């Protein structure tokens, strides 16, 4: 038995000589994906010793920061896809602040921060400059958190989409204004406690029936490529970034990045929570091209939303005194609706 297979599945029956086993990246027990034991071609960019480390070590992110992971995964993949011909434009936010405390920087690619709400437009300008200078091989990524994307940067984002400018916009979605002390954004889920949706009163936490799905709005712009991704699935994330970089025009990727500080979760639970967000149907992972949803990442082990909510203090009020708030059922219904809408579970092997 090869070490690769061994790593893939310690519980599998021994293989006969010459027999090969299809490797599954979803690995019970270790949950390690993108590791250095699989075939070179199957390895994640992150597993490569010559990854660019576009966002290198020494930055000031919190322990277990999902955004830092997401940004490094995405930019390293994009760096590889473009041969290092990449410029990043950053909206104001955690990512900007923790990476560039003057006079230091963690960015090993050309990087520009202008304002909170204009990253998409600034990126348009950079792309235009590259085109006019005859350097269209240099590609542009705009990146920001959910506040800078779904709220204050929304108009510039929509304008960039509508013009089909050659920009990949990546939104690191941690579902709130974490940089300013955890306030509600239009990406904050219902019932979540934030500093501006406190867990007090008759309807504690964020209000049901509010918020917006920017991925869906991006799809409605009929731009060439839209995807959601998660730091829990490195291969999927990297594949989507690489695919996005193979396309010209406006592209949008929104990555679910748990925030231990804002969510009230343990630093070591970042990946686990990101995975639970997928497995519960809380955060549908899909792709769309030119206005049509083309693929969805199936749920492997359908999980009740309670499993996702319980490790997060922002939802603690839903389980106060050991009594489950009826609104948990509404959140479950929300997940079920996502599963239905995006076909996240194949009915024949639905194991819930």
Partner 1 sequence: MLKQIEGSRAMAEAIALCRPEVICAYPITPQTHIVEGVGELVRDGHLKNCEYINVESEFAALSVAIGASAAGARAYTATSSQGLLFMAEAVYNASGLGLPIVMTLGNRAIGAPINIWNDHSDAMSMRDAGWLQLFAETNQEAVDLHIQAFRLAEELSMPVMVCVDGFILTHAVERIDIPDQADVDAYLPPYEPVQSLDPKDPASIGAMVGPEAFTEVKFLAHYKQTHALKLIPEYARSFRDRFGRESGGLLRGYRADDAEMLVVAMGSICGTIKDVIDEMREEGFKIGLVTLVSYRPFPLAALRDALARASDVVVVEKSFAVGMGGQLADNVDGALRNLPVRPRLHSAVAGLGGRPIPRGSLHRLFRQALVQPWEGVHFLDLNERVIGREIHRTGKNRRSGPTAENILKQLAGGRPAEQGRPG
Q: Is 159 in the site for partner 1 (CB under 8 A)?
A: yes
Which residue, 112 or 266, is less far from partner 1 as judged by CB?
112
Stretch that binds partner 1, among 21-29, 123-131, 281-289, 308-316 (CB under 8 A): 123-131
C-alpha distances in Å from residue 85, one per residue of 73, 88, 228: 16, 10, 24
> Which is nearest to 172 in space by CA: 44, 74, 286?
74
8 A C-beta contact, residue 241 and residue 275: no
**In the range 101-120, which residues lie near partner 1 by CB under 8 A?**
101-103, 105, 107-115, 117-118
Measured CA to CA, the distance from residue 242 to residue 140 in angstroms comes to: 13
92 vs 265, beta carbon nearer partner 1: 92
214 scored as a contact of partner 1 (CB under 8 A)? no
* 27 near partner 1, rule: CB under 8 A: no
Question: Is there binding between residue 62 and partner 1 (CB under 8 A)?
Answer: no
Is the bond into 103 cis (omega within 30 degrees of 0)?
Answer: yes
Whole-number Cα distances in Å, 66 to 255, 261, 263: 9, 11, 11
Of residues 141 and 231, the one with the C-beta less far from partner 1: 141
181 near partner 1 (CB under 8 A): no
Stretch that binds partner 1, among 122-130, 195-203, 272-280, 319-327 (CB under 8 A): 122-130
Triad 223, 230, 262: Cα angle to 5°: 110
Please give the residues from 266 up to 305 whose contact with partner 1 meets the rule CB under 8 A. Answer: none
The reply to whether 129 sits near partner 1 by the rule CB under 8 A is yes
Q: Does residue 84 interact with partner 1 by CB under 8 A? A: yes
* C-beta of 120 vs 334, nearer to partner 1: 120
Q: Which of 68, 75, 78, 130 binds partner 1 (CB under 8 A)?
A: 130
- Residue 104 or 203: the one with the smaller Cβ distance to partner 1 is 104
Binding-site member from 35, 46, 47, 90 for partner 1 (CB under 8 A): 90
Q: What are phi and psi of 55, to 5 degrees?
A: -110, 100
Contact (CB, 8 A) for 265 and 277 = no
Q: What's the closest the beta carbon of residue 75 comes to partner 1, in angstroms?
A: 12
Show Cβ contacts of residue 142 under 8 Å, excluding neighbours closer than 6 positions: 88, 89, 90, 91, 119, 120, 122, 123, 160, 167, 168, 169, 170
Assigned token pair, 81: 């896809």
Residue 155 touches partner 1, criterion: CB under 8 A:
yes
Is 125 a binding residue for partner 1 by CB under 8 A? The answer is: yes
Strand duo 286-289 + 251-256: pairing:
unpaired
- Segment interacting with partner 1, rule: CB under 8 A, options 20-28, 89-97, 197-205, 339-347: 89-97
Strands 251-256 and 225-230: parallel
Rounded distance, CA 8 to CA 25, Å? 7
Q: Which positions lie near partner 1, rule CB under 8 A?
A: 84-87, 89-90, 96-97, 100-103, 105, 107-115, 117-118, 121-133, 138, 155-156, 158-159, 162-163
């Amino acid at each position: 038995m090869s070490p690769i297979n061994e790593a893939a599945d310690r519980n599998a029956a021994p293989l006969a000589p010459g027999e090969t086993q299809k490797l599954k990246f979803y690995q019970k027990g270790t949950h390690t994906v993108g590791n250095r034991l699989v075939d070179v071609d199957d390895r994640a960019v992150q597993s490569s010793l010559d990854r660019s480390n576009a966002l290198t070590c020494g930055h000031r992110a919190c322990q277990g920061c999902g955004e830092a992971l997401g940004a490094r995964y995405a930019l390293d993949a994009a760096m590889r896809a473009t041969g290092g011909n990449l410029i990043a434009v950053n909206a104001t936010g955690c990512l900007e602040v923790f990476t560039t405390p003057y006079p230091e920087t963690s960015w090993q690619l050309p990087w520009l921060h202008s304002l909170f709400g204009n990253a998409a437009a600034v990126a348009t300008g950079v792309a235009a400059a590259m085109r006019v200078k005859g350097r269209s091989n240099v590609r542009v990524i705009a990146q920001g958190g959910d506040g800078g994307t779904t709220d204050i940067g929304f108009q510039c984002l929509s304008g960039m989409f509508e013009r089909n400018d050659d920009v990949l916009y990546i939104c690191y979605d941690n579902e709130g204004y974490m940089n300013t002390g955890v306030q509600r954004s239009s990406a904050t889920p219902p019932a979540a406690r934030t500093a501006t949706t406190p867990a007090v009163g008759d309807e504690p936490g964020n209000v049901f029936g509010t918020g917006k799905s920017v991925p869906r709005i991006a799809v409605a712009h009929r731009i060439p490529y839209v995807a959601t991704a998660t730091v829990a699935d490195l291969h999927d994330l990297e594949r989507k970034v690489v695919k996005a970089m193979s396309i010209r025009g406006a592209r949008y990727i929104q990555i679910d990045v748990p925030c231990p500080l804002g969510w009230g979760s343990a630093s070591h639970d970042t990946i686990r929570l990101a995975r639970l967000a997928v497995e519960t149907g809380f955060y549908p992972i899909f792709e769309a091209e030119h206005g049509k949803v083309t693929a969805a990442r199936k749920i492997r082990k359908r999980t009740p939303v309670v499993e996702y909510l319980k490790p997060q203090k922002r939802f603690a009020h839903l389980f106060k005194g050991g009594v489950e708030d009826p609104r948990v059922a509404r959140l479950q219904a929300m997940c079920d609706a996502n599963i239905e809408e995006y076909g996240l579970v194949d009915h024949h092997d639905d194991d819930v």
